[in-house]
Amino acid sequence: MTDKNIVSIIIPCFNAVKYTRQCIDSVLKNSTYPYELILINNGSSDGTKKYFQRLNLKSKYLKKLCIIQLKSNYGVAKALNTGVAKSDGKYICYINNDVIVTKQWLEGLIYAINQHKNNAVAGTLFNPFENKVFVKKAEKNKKIIDIVADKTRLTNYHNVKEAKTVHGLCMFIKKSIFKKVGLFNENFYPCFGEDIEFCKRVKKYGYNLVDAADVFVFHYWNKSVRSDEFKKQNKNIETVMKNHYKKFKIPKKHKI
C-alpha cells in the first residue's frame, strides 16, 4: 500500500561498510521529512551483514526500517527493484552507500519533482568525480560539506533546472512512474548505466528529468567497486563501464 506522506529511501550496499555507516548517519541526521529506510546488503563480505543486524535506528521522521540481506551480489538494478517492490512510499529515493546527504535534501527534492505534473525524476548537485582535492578535504573535515550545502541552498533556493540525465548517486523518483516505464534494467550487471538507461526511458515516455539546484550532496565516488572482491568478480570497473556504454549505446554526453 502506498503512503502518500513518506519517501522510500533505498540504499544498495556492496562492502564499503565504513561509508555505508556514514551515509546512514547523514540520512538520520539530515532527513526532516517522513521516510522509510530500505537497506539492501548485496552479498557483502566485509562487516555489512553484522552492521545491519545490530542496527537500532531512532528518528521521529523514520517510520519504517527494512533490511534485506542477499546471499550474493545480484547487481545494483536487481537490488533496487527488490527495494521498490518492498517500498510503501509515494516517492522512491535511490542513493549510493558512499553518499552523504545534507540539510533539507528531501524537502528540496520533493519541491523540485512537484513543480510540474510531468516531472518524474529529480537529482541534486554534487561534487564532480574529477575534484579529488575536495574529497580529501571533506574526509578530513566534514564541515566543508555542510558549508557548501548551506551556500547552495541559499543561493539557489527553489531553483529547479531541466536535466539531461539524473545519476544514481542520488535519484528521486515518483513511484507511480514505474508502472508506465518499467523498473531498472537488470542487464546492467553488476552496476553502471542502469540509471542513465532508466532516464532515457522516462524521457521517451514524455516525462521530465530535473535537478533540485538548491540541494547539494557529497559523493565519495566508487568506494564499493574499487575493492579487490569486486575486481575478482567483474575485472575492473572501467571495463564494466566501457562494455555497458557500448552494449546499450549510451551517448558520450551521459558518460562519467
Short-list 199, 116, 127, CA closest to 164: 199
- Average pLDDT on 100-129 reads 96
| Residue 213 identity | A
Q: Report phi then psi at 244, rounded to 5.
A: -70, -45
**How much of the chain, in percent, has pLDDT values that exceed 70?**
82
Instruction: Answer positive or negative: Cα dihedral of 81, 87, 90, 92.
Output: negative
If you write DSSP's letter for every residue of 9-49 in order, what string do you get?
EEEEE-S-HHHHHHHHHHHHHH--S-EEEEEEEES--SSHH
Rounded to the nearest 10°, the torsion over CA 221, 227, 229, 235 is: 70
Q: pLDDT-derived band of residue 256, with 50, 70 and 90 as boundaries?
A: very low
Note the pLDDT of residue 51.
Answer: 96
- Average pLDDT on 73-83 reads 92
Q: pLDDT-derived band of residue 204, with 50, 70 and 90 as boundaries?
A: very high
Rounded to the nearest 10 degrees, the angle between the axes of helix 132-140 and helix 143-155 is 120
* pLDDT tens digits along 3-36: 668 999 999 999 989 999 999 999 999 999 999 9
Local structure of residue 251 (DSSP, 8 states): -
CATH number of the 3-254 domain: 3.90.550.10
Q: Which of 6-10, 124-128, 220-224 has the highest mean pLDDT?
A: 6-10
Q: pLDDT-derived band of residue 96, with 50, 70 and 90 as boundaries?
A: very high
The grid cell for 242 is 566501457
Note the pLDDT of residue 240.
Answer: 45
B/e letters for 224-242, b = 16+ CB within 10 Å, e = fewer, are bbebebbeeebeebeebbe
Asked whether residue 200 carries a pLDDT value surpassing 80, the answer given is yes
The grid cell for 212 is 533540485
Rounded CA separation 106/212 (Å): 10
Note the pLDDT of residue 146.
Answer: 96
Q: What is the pTM of this model?
A: 0.86
Mean pLDDT of the chain, nearest integer: 87
CB 216 within 8 A of CB 102: yes
- Contacts by 240-244 with C-beta closer than 8 Å and gap 24+? 240/190, 240/191, 240/192, 241/192, 241/193, 244/188, 244/192, 244/193
